[in-house]
Structure 1
Amino acid sequence: MEQRELRRAVEAGRATARELGLRVDDVVVVHNSDRVALRLVPCDVLARVAPVEHLADSEFEVEVARRLADVDAPVAGLEPRVEPRVYVRDAFAISLWTYYEPAEQVIAPADYADLFLRHHAALRRIALDAPHAGDRVAVALKEVDDRERSPELADADRDLLSGTLGGLGAVLNTARASDQLLHGEPHPGNVLRTREGLLFVDLATCCRGPIEFDLAHAPEEVGKYYAGADHSLIDRCRALNWAMFSAWRWRRHDQMPDRDHWRVEGLRRVRAALESRPER
């Protein structure tokens, strides 16, 4: 968020928590992108604040968290001292979560794979109406193919992303027999290293698809420790995921920190993933 909007978001998070009886003397910005994560102290709550147009996504994320809490999934929990829902204030959607003290920990590939196995098992135990991963690919493709939505994307790069999203996106539709609920974007940035162990965050990306779609977000070594994974499909999904990531970065109003770097790096990762596929 730009600084003016960020100040409003911080105040909305602070005021909402105080109205709910939580003590807030200070606010620390943990992450700032199209939505922000705020640590509220001394109550030690994590507030996730998004523009109100993302209200449905915030409500979906809270619902996913509520259901996964019932099956002991390895995910960050909602703040137990308040009602588990999304609050709206000053054109922002605010959800309140448990704050976890970070632990110094290098995630070994086997531990990452175990986290996936436990999370996927928990997701199979809940009933949830979630979009298919292929639907997310279609949205990304629309961003790429619409020059008004991505005006700064060069023609050659547009062709690269459009071809990758359209070609490899079809792979997801042929693997539907093995579909299940997924995290959706379980990359290392969405894994908390806590004293309670490894936990997934950012649950709004929950979708349906093959487990390889999730595994493709992790370092390559992780898939080797996940029994039964199709490594060829992981490779294809890795290229697809980087193409989706790049599509978001070239949106006109994308607000990811260091966006210019990630625009270039995302395209490089797409090319590298395509070149490394064994079936080339």
Structure 2
Amino acid sequence: MIRFLCLSVVVTAIAATSAQAQSRRELAERIDATEVRIGELEAQFLAGDPVVETLMERLDALDYQIREMTGQVEQLEFENRQLRQQLEALDSQVNPPVPAIDDAAAAFMSEGLEAMPQDGEPLEDIPTADPRFADARAAATGTLGGPVEAMPVADPMVLFQSAQSRLLDGDFDGAQLGFEQFVADHADHGSAGEAYYWLGETFYVRDNFGSAADNYIASLRTQPNGPRAPDALVRLAASLRGLGRVDEACDTLGRFSRQFPNAGPDSRDRAARESVRANC
């Protein structure tokens, strides 16, 4: 009886163990099948769907563009820093301190303009050699920073027209040289006053207001009633304004109507505009 019971227990245990082993195998097979299915679904999702592929390509392209743009921005920032440094260095070279008008020129502005004849008065009454203005005249014909090679001696009007052509072409250094030679070699020429005016322009356009004012004064002294005299007076006022001497600029403009009552409309308009700029 005991042997029968033991045998029954053993048989039952073996049967249970066999059933449990079969269940584990089935579970393992199901897990393997599920993993395979998941892999298939992932592959289909990532590679088989054209919409997903397109989105992935766009994301890759955007990522590349962002990297490219970041590199370009960094390069531009570097170039901008270099450019600012170059501009600061260039500004220190091309904008030296503006020279002040010398005492002789200042004396002319305070006394000489009042002593100049009114429009239409004869030029013979004007003293041709006043020592007070020698320095201003010398400054008007001087050079910047050192000697300049002289141009070949030529016919006065050929030299004048050549210098004027250079001025119109924007060759201010060449125009300056030409007009300086003209007034040095042909001081008594009928166009000397106009040459001083254009010489002043070569300095004015480069913001060298001190030298510009000296040459406008020389133009007014040389030809007080010359064709460029009204414009020279206006430019003298503009140069004074550029030097920060606004009160003197307004005083100079205040003489315009008395000095040139018959000035043309263009010159009067220039004087009016300069008066507005100087807040006279």
Name the TM-score, length of structure 1 as normaliser.
0.22
* Highest RCO, 1 vs 2 (Cα 8 Å, sep ≥ 6): 1
Name whichever structure is richer in strand by fraction: 1
Name whichever structure is richer in helix by fraction: 2
Higher CA-based Rg: 2
Name the TM-score, length of structure 2 as normaliser.
0.22
